[in-house]
């Protein structure tokens, strides 16, 4: 068995059951860290995820050579066997609304509502990440051959879990323009190469020094044969039915230029995807004073990871899941204490 990732690192063995039940929505790094923390403290933990395997973007976004999925699955098995955590995969949690159009929705066989969970559990933690891609907002973005970063990468990663609705991007022999310079953009460049693209361009509106992926990655993809084009802003995707080119403003020369490509992948970031927006008051949570407590505007519903902070990193998501769990346990302890005080107060009145 691969060396398991340890999500339940607080204790070697769980404390005896404390009678409290928590639902975690989303089995990415933040949800797994929260599950491990709470299970170690004797909470009954049930994790819901719309995808067929736990791991979130660690499995369905990041290439397996960076994080072997077997290590994540081994860590999940350990939580199941040793700490009694239950995983309910292929289950999407949403409002009364039907499925959104997010990546991975088609894997879900079961849908459950928040109201149901609120009634069933002592507390809920939302760890649903950022699964909607940002758009460029330029003409031609709806043409055939334009994809978002996640749209492009997700089927490649999900192919091993064979779903009839997942088909790999057809890249063989194509010229591909990748817009963006973050780690997802680099992953798209790598995957396009691996899938047999004839030519790959990486396009960024700023300079190499400002590229979030760093100059090492840019040197590496250039050595691989990709072309780095900096200070270029996409103006429109050209074509009638499908992509035939990308029009760019060249910030160096001040001129407009055209790149002959058959595919455009926009890897310019993702947007948080909570299962329901307004009800949680997430906008206020992000800005407001309760952010550090990870509390939403619904009693006993907490939030952690990229869905709260916007796209970040695995380490930060894990930290967020742990902080939110501590906040959740403190909150439940406080409520239990309040109930006890109320009870004692009533007893006092009866005695008098
Ligand atoms: C292509 C790519 C490459 C990256 N590379 C790196 C890297 O090299 N290093 C690094 O540190 N970070 C990297 N990141 C960022 C990192 O993966 C994320 O910051 C991290 O995974 C966020 O963790 P999370 O738990 O908040 O959310 P996620 O990992 O996104 O997990 C969210 C989970 O919630 C589930 N879910 C969503 N909605 C629902 C719902 N309504 N009902 C049920 N389940 C739901 C999803 O299926 C998913 O499993 C990368 C991101 C991308 C996109």
Q: What rounded mean pLDDT belongs to the chain?
A: 90
Closest of 163, 113, 127, 134 to residue 49, by C-alpha: 127
In this prediction, residues 203-216 reach a mean pLDDT of 96
DSSP string covering 294-321: TB-SSTTEEE-THHHH-S--HHHHHHHH
**Ligand 1: centre distance to CA 129 (Å):** 5
- Give the mutation target among 128, 153, 189, 217 for probing the ligand 1 site: most ligand atoms within 8 A of CB: 128
Q: Which residue has the tokens 């070697």?
A: 12
What confidence tens digit (pLDDT) does each residue in 305-319 have? 999 999 999 999 999
Asked whether 92 lines ligand 1 (CB < 6 A), one says: yes
**Ligand 1: centre distance to CA 55 (Å):** 8
For the chain, percent of residues with pLDDT exceeding 90: 71
DSSP string covering 54-76: S-THHHHTS-TTTS-HHHHHHHH
Q: Any idea which of 222-226, 333-337, 345-349 has the lowest mean pLDDT?
A: 345-349
In this prediction, residues 238-258 reach a mean pLDDT of 96
Instruction: Label residue 290 by pLDDT band (50, 70, 90).
Output: low
Task: Sketch out the chain's domains with CATH numbers.
Answer: 21-131+271-343 (3.50.50.60), 135-268 (3.50.50.60)
Asked whether 239 lines ligand 1 (CB < 6 A), one says: no
**C-alpha span between 141 and 237 (Å, rounded):** 6
Predicted pLDDT of residue 284: 60
Is 348's pLDDT higher than 60?
yes
Between the ranges 20-29, 105-114, 284-293, where is the mean pLDDT highest?
Answer: 20-29
In this prediction, residues 202-207 reach a mean pLDDT of 97
Asked whether 52 lines ligand 1 (CB < 6 A), one says: no
Is 204's pLDDT higher than 60?
yes
82 exposure class (CB count in 10 Å sphere: 0-12, 13-18, 19+): middle
Predicted pLDDT of residue 306: 95
**C-alpha span between 22 and 123 (Å, rounded):** 5
Q: Which atom of ligand 1 is nearest to the CA of 57?
A: 29
Asked whether 56 lines ligand 1 (CB < 6 A), one says: yes
């Amino acid at each position: 068995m691969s060396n398991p990732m340890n999500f339940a690192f607080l204790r070697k063995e769980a404390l005896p059951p404390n009678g409290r039940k928590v639902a975690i929505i989303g089995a990415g790094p933040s949800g797994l860290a929260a599950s491990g923390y709470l299970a170690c403290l004797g909470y009954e933990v049930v994790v819901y995820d719309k995808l067929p395997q736990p791991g979130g973007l660690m499995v369905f976004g990041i290439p397996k050579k960076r994080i072997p999925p077997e290590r994540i699955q081994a860590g999940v098995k350990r939580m199941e066997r040793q700490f009694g955590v239950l995983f309910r995969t292929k289950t999407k949690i949403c409002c009364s609304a039907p499925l959104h159009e997010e990546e991975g929705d088609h894997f879900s066989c079961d849908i459950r509502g928040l109201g149901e969970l609120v009634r069933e559990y002592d507390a809920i933690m939302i760890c649903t990440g950022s699964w909607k891609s940002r758009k460029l907002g330029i003409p031609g973005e709806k043409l055939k051959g334009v994809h978002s970063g996640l749209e492009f990468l997700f089927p490649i990663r999900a192919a091993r879990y064979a779903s009839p609705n997942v088909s790999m991007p057809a890249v063989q022999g194509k010229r591909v323009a990748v817009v963006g310079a973050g780690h997802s953009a680099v992953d798209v460049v790598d995957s396009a190469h691996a899938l047999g693209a004839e030519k790959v361009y990486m396009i960024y509106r700023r300079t190499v020094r400002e590229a979030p992926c760093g100059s090492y990655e840019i040197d590496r993809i250039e050595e691989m044969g990709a072309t780095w084009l900096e200070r270029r802003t996409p103006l429109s995707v050209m074509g009638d039915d499908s992509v035939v080119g990308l029009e760019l403003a060249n910030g160096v020369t001040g001129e407009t230029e055209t790149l002959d490509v058959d595919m455009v992948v926009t890897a310019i970031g993702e947007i948080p995807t909570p299962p329901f927006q307004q009800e949680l008051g997430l906008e206020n949570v992000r800005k407001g004073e309760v952010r550090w407590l990870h509390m939403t505007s619904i009693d006993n519903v907490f939030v952690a990871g990229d869905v709260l902070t916007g796209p970040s990193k695995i380490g930060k998501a894990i930290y967020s899941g742990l902080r939110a769990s501590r906040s959740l346990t403190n909150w439940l302890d406080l409520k239990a204490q309040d109930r006890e005080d109320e009870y004692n107060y009533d007893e006092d009145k009866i005695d008098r």
